[in-house]
Amino acid sequence: MERKRLSMGVMGADLGQISMDDLMGGGVPQGSIVLLSGQCGTGKTLMSLQYLMEGAIKGERCMYLSFDQIRQDIVDQAAGIGLDLESQEVSGNMILRLFDATQDSPTLVKKEIENLLKTFNPQRVVIDSLSMYAIMMSVVENIKALISYDIKTKSAMIDKEVVTRLSIIRLFRMLKESNATCVLSSECMDDASFAVTDKVARFCADGVIFLESSDDEECSYFHIQEMRYTRHSHGTFKMIITPNGLKVGGEL
């Protein structure tokens, strides 16, 4: 049975030009978890916000979770491409929840996310960024490892990659059980803390869209590396940043 598709909301730059949905064979399959992977400044946050707004204006319940930004920065970034997040909050279609990774308790954050998934029951979820979420949740996994510390052998056996893998797998399971269609951003960097997260998430995700920078600050490149349940394009395309949203440009 073919899955219902959800639109990313990223149209072609010119009349008759293909949209991102076209490149996915009709959009994101419902219930999927899609990873937006790339370096800083490639448009991951903007793409995730546009995906969320596409659902909100259709009356869908949408939830944005951030772990490394402040509210006003998110609102301003969205406004820069013509997205009014606050109006969707007022309408009740959208929740913006921004956590402070330096102060908020990881355990309480996890519980709040679980509660929001059950009570708000979102149809679309964005997590920005997965990298910071994993770092935050690694504290919990480390504590669990220390609790099982073997005093006889004097080894707690804490493996950073295993800790990261566990925190991501637990999150993906929670998201899958909610039946929401999710977009998660991940930093693709040389730093080991971020590289492990991106590697694990790529393995677990249903889809991966890779974004890379260009010499033009108003344009980056993207290609769909994987998208389960679809016949998707394997080409690399321009993603143009405009005052009226992100647009798909020509193929490279």
pTM to 2 decimal places: 0.90
Amino acid (one-letter) located at 150? D
Helix 106-119 / helix 130-147 crossing angle, nearest 10 deg = 120
Strand partners, 240: 219, 247
What element of type H or E holds 160? helix 160-178
Scan for tokens 């394997």, then name that residue.
234
> Structurally, how many domains does the chain consist of?
1
- Sequential pLDDT tens for the chain (252 residues): 678 999 999 999 998 889 999 999 999 999 999 999 998 889 999 999 999 999 999 999 999 999 989 999 999 999 999 999 999 999 999 999 999 988 898 889 999 999 999 999 999 999 998 988 988 887 665 555 444 545 455 455 556 677 778 888 999 999 999 999 999 999 875 555 556 677 888 889 999 999 999 998 889 999 999 999 999 999 999 999 999 999 999 999
Task: Report DSSP letters for 8-58, one per residue.
Answer: ---EESSTTPPPHHHHTTSSEETT-EEEEEE-TTSSHHHHHHHHHHHHHTT
- Per the CB < 8 A criterion, the answer to whether 185 and 129 are in contact is yes
pLDDT in tens, 90-149: 999 999 999 998 889 888 999 999 999 999 999 999 999 898 898 888 766 555 544 454
Q: What is the CATH number of the domain that holds 88?
A: 3.40.50.300
Residue 112 belongs to domain spanning: 5-251
d(CA 82, CA 153): 59
Give pLDDT tens digits for 115-128. Answer: 999 999 999 999 99
